Structure 1
């Protein structure tokens, strides 16, 4: 679970500070800065004289330790070194995590592209090939510092935080807490149905927004939420819609995936459990960041009566979906 922090020092991260940080690495900035879409961290495109711009990522205080960040970077570089298409951080004298004043930051090459089309069978097939190769490398060594995807961090603690900090409206508290108690039971049952699974180093937040397509090639970006867990965590977010539509997408994805790696079908029991945990965790993440001035501006829909009513409806639907049989796919 993300620790709450009141260290909203991003207000001090002005253009001069950003440029000075980048220039501390012996770059010469041309003074152009473009803020990119990021809320957990702060990410900027910084112009460099006579060279392509670079991307500077400034890390939120109190979230990851230095060792956790370096472990994420090492995983990305390990993937890049065997030509798996990820956008890895730039290393300078074997270091990827830098400090300037109170800020920790990393730099990346600028890399443009467009999001994949998840209703395009060929796009899903290509994603399957890449994720299988990532998982093959992810299996070779464990994370030593980064945590796993688990029920405690992604469901139990987030629920406790929301209830104890009075984010749930009074008239919905009983309904929410009772529903969540039932959801935890169902989530744990899904894990029991799955049984033992291989724990891998994962991307962890592998959705459409973290994939770039350029020149008909696919690239994976932003391993900030990288954790250990089952392979299906990096797959289920590509699957949505009704059962038939998800099955079609799964078939396309697995056609590519199984060219490089055998998928353990029993992990399919976890899809709706993981989706449920993500819904819960997302609400708690917004709640924990609500005192950051950027969040009420970026997420004005949060913490309203309508939001929590809709959440309860969505979670009730998830309770029903966890009762359904796991998806199946056509083996190749």
Structure 2
């Protein structure tokens, strides 16, 4: 595979892929912020624009992508405001010129106010409804939120990368292993919690608010995991978490022992972030978007942050 997985994905191929679905692009293209995949807003003749998402090669299997699509459709069928893929010829996962892609309707909106109790309670109710659907059956192909996915593989990516200065290699390994041990201890102390299908990456950028309320986008990180995973990134503080839970419990019971998992989930996400960038560094979009990661002082701060996260878990 080319170091640049999207080297041949030029505007003509994007337009041709949309045309292959029987739509008539009007030539208007807008590249949207997305690093893991490539996402374009495509204008359509005499119809609203669509969003074309081209999946990163080799990241997900076809079966895993189809599970994501089926989950989105299942949520939409229950009248939960989630943007689901469009269907063409009975298919949601499409292929063109070696790329896998999907089209969705364009849904605008603004970021939610995480200071608004009313909006947080609303989000809590909707997340509870997502989880009620997610609890019906497990994912079979999309994996789970665990140490192997969010610590072990990202840590290996960093250690194998030229981004990490050689002089900081041992310090990074010690800090990352310390986080891993602390996370493992916290997970063991909390004990087994119910695993269900999640949005998986429920941060404010994946919630769009309109005058009619919020809707959720981008289930690309949907996995099995604990319910609190879809709540903690929307809570700026304890009051925010309480507002989310007040709304959540109006629709679904919440296991409060899961709150003890939040520091572990936060640590895993931060360690994963560095590994994700290291693993994708040969994609030219990443050095352009994250130039600071090539600087030794960023790694010094990252190592310090990992030690702080480990301390929080003690």
TM-score normalised to structure 2 length:
0.97
Q: Does structure 2 retain, via aligned residues, the 8 Å contact 1:72–1:224?
A: yes
Q: Tell me what 2:128 maps to.
A: 132
- Secondary structure of the residue aligned to 1:10 is coil
Q: Tell me what 1:196 maps to.
A: 192
Give the drift of 1:6.
Answer: 4.3
- Alignment match of 1:270 (pick from 246, 261, 279): 261
Q: Does structure 2 retain, via aligned residues, the 8 Å contact 1:48–1:54?
A: yes
The answer on 1:319 being equivalent to 2:307 is no
- Alignment match of 2:204 (pick from 191, 208, 227): 208
| Partner Cα distance (2:305, 2:115) in 1 | 23
Q: Does structure 2 retain, via aligned residues, the 8 Å contact 1:203–1:227?
A: yes
Q: Tell me what 1:71 maps to.
A: 67
Q: Which string of whole-angstrom CA distances, capped at 9 and with x for unpartnered residues, describes residues 71-96 of structure 1?
A: 00000000000101101111123210
Farther off after superposition, 153-162 or 287-296: 153-162
Q: Tell me what 1:310 maps to.
A: 301
Q: Which runs of 5+ in 2 are unaligned?
A: none
Aligned length: 314
Q: Tell me what 1:328 maps to.
A: none
Q: Does structure 1 retain, via aligned residues, the 8 Å contact 2:32–2:39?
A: yes
Q: Does structure 2 retain, via aligned residues, the 8 Å contact 1:6–1:291?
A: no
Q: Does structure 2 retain, via aligned residues, the 8 Å contact 1:31–1:47?
A: yes
Q: Does structure 2 retain, via aligned residues, the 8 Å contact 1:6–1:292?
A: no
Q: Tell me what 1:243 maps to.
A: none
| Partner Cα distance (2:92, 2:102) in 1 | 6
Runs of at least 4 residues off by over 6 Å: none
Give the drift of 1:179.
Answer: 1.8
The answer on 1:292 being equivalent to 2:288 is no
The Cα RMSD (Å) is 1.2
| Partner Cα distance (2:223, 2:60) in 1 | 12
- Summarize the Cα distance change of 1:166–1:30 in structure 2 as closer, same or farther, 3 Å threshold: closer
The answer on 1:184 being equivalent to 2:192 is no
Farther off after superposition, 246-255 or 5-14: 5-14
Give the drift of 1:157.
Answer: 2.1
Q: Tell me what 2:94 maps to.
A: 98
- Alignment match of 2:232 (pick from 227, 230, 236): 236
Q: Tell me what 1:148 maps to.
A: 144
Q: Does structure 1 retain, via aligned residues, the 8 Å contact 2:67–2:142?
A: yes
Q: Which runs of 5+ in 1 are unaligned?
A: 241-245, 324-332
- Secondary structure of the residue aligned to 1:25 is coil
Give the drift of 1:215.
Answer: 1.2
Q: Does structure 1 retain, via aligned residues, the 8 Å contact 2:190–2:257?
A: yes
- Secondary structure of the residue aligned to 1:251 is helix
Q: Which string of whole-angstrom CA distances, capped at 9 and with x for unpartnered residues, describes residues 147-194 of structure 1?
A: 111011111221122123343222222222112222111101111121
| Partner Cα distance (1:169, 1:292) in 2 | 20
- Secondary structure of the residue aligned to 1:33 is strand
- Summarize the Cα distance change of 1:162–1:9 in structure 2 as closer, same or farther, 3 Å threshold: closer
Q: Does structure 2 retain, via aligned residues, the 8 Å contact 1:199–1:231?
A: yes
Give the drift of 1:239.
Answer: 2.4
Give the drift of 1:310.
Answer: 1.2
